[in-house]
Chain A
Amino acid sequence: MSKQLEVNKLSVSFGKVNVINDISFSLAAGRIGCILGPSGCGKTTALRTIAGFQQPTKGYVLLGNKQISSPQKSLPPEKRNIGMVFQDFALFPNLTVADNIRFGLRNWTTDAQQKRIDELLELIGLKHLATAYSHQLSGGQQQRVALARAMAPKPDILLLDEPFSSMDIDLREQLAREVRNILKQENITAILVTHDQHEAFVMADEICVMHDGIIQQHDTGYNLYHKPANKFVADFIGQGVIITGEAIDTGKIKTELGIIEGSTPEGCQPGCKVDVLIRPDDVIHDDESNEQAIIIDKAFKGAEFLYTLRTRTGVEVLCLAPSHHNHQINESIGIRLDIDHLVVFKQ
């Protein structure tokens, strides 16, 4: 598969503040990528640089084989053939749904325009609302129109800036799935920017986790969860706590919760200090265990309880337990570790 987008050693700064620091990644045609990170990590700036609303201070961006952004030459957004879906959708309130979609098709013949509009309205399931104005639509409908409008001119890449953030939380995953299906049907290369990992997991084929203007890890969702590249990713993706430990032998780590078996990081000799990621599902509630912990908080999750526990030594860990194990706060329960994918970092 050919590279549709390549970002090479890109840096962006506002005045003296470096917002993006030397990031590189690429995306193959037809893939959906995601830049995931907490707010202020530089993800939106990265997207806006790709779109052309921001100039890079270093590095370059290639779209197809064309260089579109570099400190020397930056193609204006309107010359890039990109599509963009905005956080607030930015539908033109003076135009109907159909005319919003038509907006980017001005160089097409009228027939071609109409065909494309019909096709997209069909795709997003809003054929009956072609002549409606944006304020007459629900949030989800507005979003689909925004998507259709961005896709209409068949852009080389579609950029989605937090497209679900103004939606009800319950709707987000469902909408993300819908959008993914639409993109896949049109075989569009896309980049999604979000702070919500669930959205990212549902929509994206591959995810860049970004923090402090740097890409921390570029991988699939599964790998981000199970094989985080560093402590930040481990902490940011999924739930869990990091406890300290000490390698006592190859493949053995001594922690306050007992000895854990698994591979130790490279170059870690016995005696070196490590951090171990403990996910809630790694901590098993076991009344038989000698290891006791006090429940300091609990949250009901339907089939499970998520307990926050404090061990004897004062370490806090999370524990996911089937919900028939209903214990009270301040009660002491037995736990043990059962780790499938050990995530451990050298300190």
Chain B
Amino acid sequence: MKLKMLSIIAASLSVLAGSYAQASNEVNVYSARKEKLIKPLLDKFTAATGIKTNLVTAKADKLLTRLQNEGRNSPADLFITVDAGRLHRAREKGVLQAINSSTINSIVPSHLRDPDDQWVALSQRSRVIFYVKDRVKADELSSYEDLANPKWKKRICIRGSSNIYNQSLLASMIETNGEQAAEAWARGIVANMARPPKGGDRDQIKAAAAGQCDIAIANTYYYGTMLSNKKDPAQMAAANKVAIFWPNQSGRGAHVNVSGAGITRHAPNKENAIRLLAFLVSPESQKWYAEVNFEYPVTADAETSDMLKSWGAFKADNLNLSRLGANNVTAVKIMDRAGWR
């Protein structure tokens, strides 16, 4: 009797639980990429394939916590994030599975994929130096390492150490120069800061343009969105006062990070997820990222935007991106020690 009752309850609950449990013609996305920069592509995907897309956006670490705790019942199929360190962390936490798609492997070069095929990059961006054209000459600049030189004392604007892009940049320094050199570099940067770190990447460019500092460190796409911001002339004006400088061109190349995605370990709709991934690395989607958010494509042959072309070609650091994740905690601790707030 009791068993019967229980089974009735269980059955009715499973009905209530809705469509997640059954595999249906849909794909569920946990995205750390903001809605504005993923939803339009998902809508295009649905229009092209008829597969329904469901989206939740939040910060990467919190999505990971959710994914991890939901375990084998998690409805998520695809995990998208905007930093290689987080992709690495997702892999370490064991919430992803191998993609094993020959289509994707044929499009995306191997250094932009996880060695075990747990994730794939969807777009590239570089973290570079911006200099105020009327106060700094391009030939004064050379590399990231050089920014710790006392000649830049009180001239650099860079955001806080809680920011993952800075953490990843420092992680790449640890990888190439070792921990001690990286810490010395971090201390040098702190000494050269024009003001205590605050605000986002755009704020650094704005502050440089306004005269608070001569050099700003920011991601390329922020510069792009500022340049193209017709609604806010002040932003355009600020961006026009600075120029982009590709550092370390004679060495390892400019620091590059990616946005990327992996298929979750218990994905109920794996096939659909692979189709979505393939769609996201297709030339059409890649072009969209280049045009809308000024990110570099992951495929060499994809069409980019005029803006990206105007910045010229550059040499990118070919460091295996998973190393950024591996060095992340060390980077944060170094920044704490160096007084980088």
Classify A-B as touching or not with yes or no (CB < 8 A). Answer: no
Interface residues of B (CB under 8 A from A): none
